[in-house]
Amino acid sequence: MKDKLKTYLQGLIGVAALLILWTVATKTGIFGRVNNRAAEFLLPLPTTVLKEMIKVISNGYLLSNLWVSFLRVLTGFSIAVCIGLPLGIMIGMNETVRNIFYPIIRFVSPIPGVAWVPLSILWFGLGDKSAIFIIVMGSLSPIIVNTCQGMQNLYKRLGEVLDVMEASTYYRVRYYILPGIMPYVVAGFRLSLGFSWRVVIAAELVGVPKGMGYMLSVSRSTGNTADTLITIIALGIVMILMEEVLFQSIENHTNRWRKNQ
C-alpha cells in the first residue's frame, strides 16, 4: 500500500512539474521564441485548456466522439483477436501451418497501420468499415506473434506427460495451452490495443466522420489548439485507464499462474 501511494505521489509530482513548465513556456512566449499573443495561440495555458475541456464535456462533443472511436476500436480489436488468437495457436502447434503463414506475418508486421489507409478508402470508402479494416490490419500482428511465442515457451515436460497419458485435444488446449500462453496473449493484446487506437486516429484524420481523429482534424482546420490538446489528453487518459483497470489485473492473475508452474 505504501509503495503504491509513493508511486502515485511521485507521479503527481511529475504531472505538476509538467504543468509548471507548460505555464512558464506560455507566459514567456515559448521561452522567447514568439510574442505572448502567439504563444497563447500555439500553446494555451493549462487553465484555458481546462475551461475548454469542461465545455466540450458538458455539451457532449468530446464524449460522443470518444464513444465513436471506442466502438470502432472495440470492433476492430475483437475481429483481430478472433483471427489472431487461433491462428497464433495453430502456427505454434503445427509446423506446416507455421511454414505457410509465418513468412506472410513477418512481411506484414513491419507495415504501419496508416499504410493501409489509401487501400481501405478505395475498397470501403469513407466510414466505419474503412476504419475497422485499418484497425484489424494494424493490430493483428502483435496478437499472432505473441501467441506463437507463448506456444514455443510452453512447459515441455508437462506436454510430454500429456503425451504419455494420451490426453485429448480439448484437455490440452483447456488445461495446458491456454493457461501457459495467457501471459504472452495478454501482452499481445496490450500492444494490439495500443496500435488500434493509433491507427483509428490516423483513419479518422483522413476523412472518416466523427471520432477523436475527426476532432483533431477539425481543431487543426479551425486553429483551435485547445481542442487539439484536449483530444491528446483524453486519449492518454483512456489508455491509462485501460492499463490500470483491465490489463494490470489480468497480468497479475496470469503471472501468478506462471509462478506456480
Bigger pLDDT: 108 vs 76? 76
pLDDT of 82: 92
Stretch 8-21: mean pLDDT, rounded? 85
Report the mean per-residue pLDDT for the chain.
81
127: left (phi over 0), alpha (psi -120 to 50) or beta: left
Please tell me whether residue 171 adopts helix, strand or coil conformation: helix
pLDDT above 60: residue 160? no
Cα separation, 52 vs 47, in Å, equals 9
- Distance CA(42)–CA(7), nearest Å, equals 32
Confidence (pLDDT) at 80: 92
What's the grid cell of residue 230? 484536449
CA 44, distance to chain mean position in Å, is 28
**Predicted local distance difference test score (pLDDT) of residue 67:** 92
Percentage of residues in the chain having pLDDT higher than 90 = 5
pLDDT tens digits for 164-210?
556 656 666 666 677 777 878 888 888 888 888 888 888 787 767 78
Better-scored residue on pLDDT, 127 or 158: 127
Residues 6+ apart with CB under 8 A from 179: 257
Cell numbers 497501420 correspond to 113
Q: Kindly state the average pLDDT of the residues 87-100.
A: 83
- Spell out where 156-249 has E strands: none
The label of the residue with cell 483512456 reads 238
Residue 157 pLDDT level (bands cut at 50, 70, 90): low
> Domain boundaries in the chain?
1-43, 61-259
Report the pLDDT averaged over residues 120-147.
85
- Looking at residue 175, what is its pLDDT? 64
Most confident of 3-7, 120-124, 159-163, 165-169: 120-124
pLDDT in tens, 33-90: 778 778 788 888 889 889 989 999 999 889 998 998 889 888 998 999 999 888 888 8
CA dihedral 79, 68, 138, 75 (to 10 degrees): 0
The confidence score (pLDDT) of residue 156 equals 64
- Structure confidence at residue 169 (pLDDT): 64
- Helices 2-27 and 46-58 pack at an angle, to 10 degrees, of 110
Query: Higher-confidence residue: 49 or 254?
Result: 49
pLDDT attached to residue 213: 85
Residues of the chain above pLDDT 70, percent: 83
Look-up of cell digits 466505419: 128
Domain 61-259 sits in CATH at: 1.10.3720.10
CA–CA dist 106, 84 (Å, integer): 14
Complete DSSP assignment for 35-54 = -HHHHHHHS--HHHHHHHHH
What confidence score (pLDDT) does residue 164 get?
Answer: 58
Residue scoring higher pLDDT (162 or 191):
191
Give me the count of residues in the chain: 261
Q: What pLDDT is attached to residue 12? A: 85
